[in-house]
């Protein structure tokens, strides 16, 4: 499984992940949203997003205008954003300089200490919880399905057929995966490939343009992995499904996995749909192979 860790995060994406945890709201529109947070540089108390409280604001207010400008420039030089705690506001002159430094400005009603503690924990999670996998991601019957498999096995073609059946598309080829603040594994599309899919013979197509906005799912929690493997003559496969499901380790967490051998004549999209249905039934405690096994045991005992 090919994976690559991300080293930075756009402030815009940080806001989406942090707005509920830190209870923040933008205080200067989307200024600074395109800046990137260098996750690899996060060490100790040195954070790329700063939290200011009443003490800091009062200190700045007491400075003469020229010193205030130098001080703000120095403080914001390496900052991607600034959070004003306790619902604080700053004078327009401050706000203008913050915007001039192209730093994002947010405000929260949380106390400074609480906000700083939550921010530090969130950045720690984000720093260790971003990888990129080669695969596709769909939402099928409410399940976040990660499709992995051998090169050329038909992952994109199968995904396209599933989308045409009404299932929702997240991404193709590369999946950006991270652990959110609730500890769940969440997948989304890298910015450059969002809404796009590459199909051999057709080239790159825009799923949103072809199937409509309702066919797109921005991100989804990964519940199940389907691994498509090329059929190998002579290899034995589990026919009853008594070992269902296997497991896939993603960032130290175990996700259920189903391996599907791919051979000419097999409708992979249908098999994937059925695999999702079987997964849902198993969550409810039902497994067909166990039922057949029990019936066989009863027949043999008679």
- Which string of DSSP letters, residue by residue, matches 248-261? EEETTEEEEEEEEE
Q: Classify the C-alpha dihedral 158-163-166-171 as positive or negative.
A: positive
What is the distance between the alpha carbons of residues 103 and 79, in angstroms, rounded to a whole number?
7
One DSSP character per residue, 188-236 reads E--GGGTTEEEETTTEEEEHHHHH-GGGB-SEEE--EEEEEEE--TT--
The set of catalytic residues is 155, 173, 239
**What is the maximum alpha-carbon separation in the chain?**
96
Say if CB 49 and CB 76 are below 8 A apart: no
The values of phi and psi at residue 163, to 5°, are -65, -40
Task: Report yes or no: 106 and 26 within 8 Å, Cβ to Cβ.
Answer: yes
d(CA 284, CA 137): 24
Is residue 223 within 8 A of residue 143, CB to CB? The reply is yes
Conformational region of residue 266, where left means phi above 0, alpha means psi within -120 to 50, and beta covers everything else? beta
């Amino acid at each position: 499984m090919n994976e690559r860790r991300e080293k930075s995060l756009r402030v815009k994406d940080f806001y989406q992940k942090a707005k509920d945890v830190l209870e923040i709201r933008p205080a200067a529109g989307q200024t600074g949203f395109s800046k990137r947070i260098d996750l690899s540089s996060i060490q100790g108390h040195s954070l790329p997003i700063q939290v200011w409280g009443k003490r800091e604001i009062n200190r700045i207010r007491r400075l003469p205008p020229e010193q205030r400008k130098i001080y703000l420039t120095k403080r914001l030089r390496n900052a991607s954003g600034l959070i004003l705690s306790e619902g604080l506001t700053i004078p327009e002159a401050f706000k203008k300089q913050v915007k001039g430094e192209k730093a994002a400005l947010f405000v929260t009603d949380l106390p400074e200490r609480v906000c700083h503690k939550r921010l530090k924990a969130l950045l720690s999670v984000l720093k260790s919880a971003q990888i990129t996998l080669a695969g596709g991601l769909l939402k099928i019957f409410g399940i976040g399905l990660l499709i992995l498999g051998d090169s050329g096995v038909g992952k994109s073609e199968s995904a396209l057929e599933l989308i045409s059946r009404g299932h929702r598309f997240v991404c193709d080829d590369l999946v950006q995966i991270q652990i959110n603040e609730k500890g769940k594994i969440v997948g989304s599309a890298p910015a450059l490939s969002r809404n796009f899919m590459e199909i051999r013979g057709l080239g790159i197509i825009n799923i949103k343009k072809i199937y409509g906005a309702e066919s797109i799912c921005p991100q989804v929690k990964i519940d199940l992995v389907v691994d498509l493997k090329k059929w190998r003559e002579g290899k034995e496969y589990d026919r009853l499904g008594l070992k269902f499901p296997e497991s896939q380790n993603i960032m130290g967490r175990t996700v259920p996995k189903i391996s599907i051998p791919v051979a000419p004549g097999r409708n992979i999209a249908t098999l994937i749909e059925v695999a999702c249905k079987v997964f849902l039934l198993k969550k409810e405690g039902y497994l067909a192979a166990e039922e057949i096994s029990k019936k066989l045991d009863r027949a043999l005992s008679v």
